[in-house]
Amino acid sequence: MTKITDSHCHLDFPNFDETRPEVIARAQEAGVHRMVTICTKTQNLPAVRAIAEANDPVFFAYGVHPMSVADQPLVSVDHLVDAAQHPKMVGIGESGLDYHYTANSAKAQKTSLRVHIEAAQETGLPLIIHARAADDDMAAILSEGYRAKPYTCVMHCFSSSAELAKAALDLGFYLSMSGIAAFPKSKELREIFAAAPLERILVETDSPYLAPPPYRGRENEPSYVVHTAKVGAETFGLSYEDFAAATEANFDRLFAKAAAWPAARAAE
């Protein structure tokens, strides 16, 4: 079976409280052999960490979501770096900027984003970015941080402008395709992806949100990443198998700690 990775999901959300084992099992049956579940609030870290510890295919990332920064104490670099010592924490975030719903907290979001960038620089783990309606500030802050000290990054659930895509790619960052890219009306977004280097593309569900066709409108889950990847394969003019292999190589390159997990586990 062709293997593929869901690089961004939210398995700790209450949507999965009654079905989590079955959801993870369905993902594996579909060939989704790894999932990165994202912690978006400090108080949720123990629960997210426990899900990764209890399920071998599941890794986790940790940060404070930009839409939550106004309601959360400012996270510190030291706290993020300390959390990153866990063997299955493989990314910093999601962090970023969201001016669509929470423009009133823009100043706090910028401060939080810079903290997360510094944590990514300190740990060597990839930064996971949420960007919505904030393209200019996002490009400026990401570039400013990179000039100070290079780091790696993925633009999660990318659905922003071609200009932000270019700014991210010019820094060596990655773009992640979610179910949005598979929507019939997302032709312009698919063109942005098609113009990007294949070696900078990841796939994700962002479940329980944004289910791709034929499940649009239903609750999303990691197994559905296969459907987004099939659209990605069409976008790049590849077979599903070749596109999946490319995104696997990309994930391994960016999320090197997850890629090394089998060997690290064997050495324990």
pLDDT tens by residue, 52-110? 999 999 999 999 999 999 998 999 999 999 999 999 999 999 999 999 999 999 999 99
pLDDT at 129: 98
Instruction: For residue 266, name the pLDDT band (cuts at 50, 70, 90).
Output: low
Q: Which residues of 153-182 are buried (b: 16+ CB within 10 A; e: fewer)?
A: bbbbbbbbbeebbebbbebebbbbbbbbbb
pLDDT, one tens digit per residue, over 218-232 is 999 999 999 999 999
Q: 267 pLDDT exceeds 80?
A: no
**What is the spatial distance between Cα 13 and Cα 246, in angstroms, rounded to a whole number?**
29
**What is the spatial distance between Cα 214 and Cα 227, in angstroms, rounded to a whole number?**
8
264 vs 91 pLDDT, higher one: 91
Domain span holding position 192 = 4-267
- The DSSP call for residue 196 is S
Please report, for the domain that includes residue 173, its CATH number.
3.20.20.140
pLDDT, one tens digit per residue, over 56-70 is 999 999 999 999 999
Number of domains in the chain: 1
93: left (phi over 0), alpha (psi -120 to 50) or beta: left
Mean pLDDT of the chain: 97
Check: CB of residue 134 under 8 Å from CB of residue 102.
no
Check: CB of residue 248 under 8 Å from CB of residue 4.
yes
The pTM score is: 0.97
Instruction: For residue 260, name the pLDDT band (cuts at 50, 70, 90).
Output: very high
Q: For residue 67, which amino acid is it? A: M
- Mean pLDDT score, 18-42: 97
134: three-class secondary structure by DSSP: coil
pLDDT, one tens digit per residue, over 149-186 is 999 999 999 999 999 999 999 999 999 999 999 999 99
Q: For residue 122, which amino acid is it? A: E
Look at the alpha carbons of 60, 8, 97, 152 in this order and tell me if their dihedral is positive or negative: positive
Token pair in block for residue 9: 């999901």
Q: How far is CA 25 from CA 55, 211, 218, 221, in A?
A: 10, 18, 19, 11
Instruction: For residue 263, name the pLDDT band (cuts at 50, 70, 90).
Output: confident
Check: CB of residue 151 under 8 Å from CB of residue 200.
no
**What is the spatial distance between Cα 84 and Cα 104, in angstroms, rounded to a whole number?**
30
Could you give phi then psi for residue 231, rounded to 5 degrees? Answer: -70, -40
